[in-house]
């Protein structure tokens, strides 16, 4: 079914997808957490992964703003499944409001929502797929847990490293990657996309939607 509350965009998006996507099939929401207007910063690396995911799936030119959930959305086919890609237009600390509203519009449970976000406790270049659990101090994830009233969302944690002094964390996450770090980003975004797609494919083909 088409999502309620996607005015002016839903029919156009669905007409661009394979006809099989309009029949009952698995649907997943993949949200890249970050701050709008700060795409090159460490804290918005989740949005960078979503950009690479959209390019890989051939929908990089299909992003459209949806005012109902204050986010940019794009729909993509993945075999018999459908991915709803989301980049919130709200600040990181309230990203959950956009994610939860989109999940409601598309009729998805928390288990069907993937969060992609930065991780201070892993060095740049390291990835981990975490299945549920606490926010581990990440305000964007905390907002999603609060707004979805669940901690079951699978999360792709993208390492950005941690500054030496705790007092420098806020400035660090809001700063841009250094030239040396930027060299590491393209292969990191590729590996993050591979990990996401492999996991979603496996769940789409499995007997249930549980992680």
Report, as residue numbers or ranges, the catalytic residues: 43
Q: Do 52 and 193 form a contact (C-beta atoms < 8 A)?
A: yes
Question: Do you know the residue count of the chain?
Answer: 211
Sequence-ordered strand ranges (E) for the chain: 27-32, 64-66, 71-78, 81-88, 113-119, 127-131, 154-159
d(CA 162, CA 86): 26
Q: 28 pairs with which residues across the strands?
A: 83
């Amino acid at each position: 079914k088409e999502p309620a509350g996607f005015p002016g965009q839903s029919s156009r998006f669905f007409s661009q997808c394979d006809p099989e996507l309009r029949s009952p099939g698995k649907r997943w929401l993949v949200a890249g957490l970050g701050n709008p207007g700060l795409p090159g910063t460490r804290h918005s690396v989740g949005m960078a992964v979503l950009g690479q995911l959209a390019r890989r799936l051939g929908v990089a030119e299909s992003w459209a703003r949806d005012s109902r959930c204050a986010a940019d959305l794009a729909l993509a086919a993945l075999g018999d499944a459908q991915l709803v890609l989301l980049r919130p237009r709200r600040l990181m600390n309230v990203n959950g409001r956009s994610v939860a509203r989109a999940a409601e519009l598309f009729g998805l449970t928390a288990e069907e929502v993937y969060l992609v976000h930065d991780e201070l406790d892993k060095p740049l270049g390291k990835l981990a797929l975490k299945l549920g659990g606490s926010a581990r101090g990440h305000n964007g994830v905390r907002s999603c847990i609060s707004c979805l009233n669940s901690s079951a969302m699978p999360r792709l944690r993208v390492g950005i490293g941690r500054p030496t002094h705790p007092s420098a964390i806020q400035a660090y996450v809001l700063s841009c990657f250094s030239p040396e770090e930027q060299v590491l980003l393209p292969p990191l975004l590729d590996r993050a996309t591979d990990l996401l797609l492999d996991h979603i494919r496996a769940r789409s083909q499995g007997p249930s939607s549980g992680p």
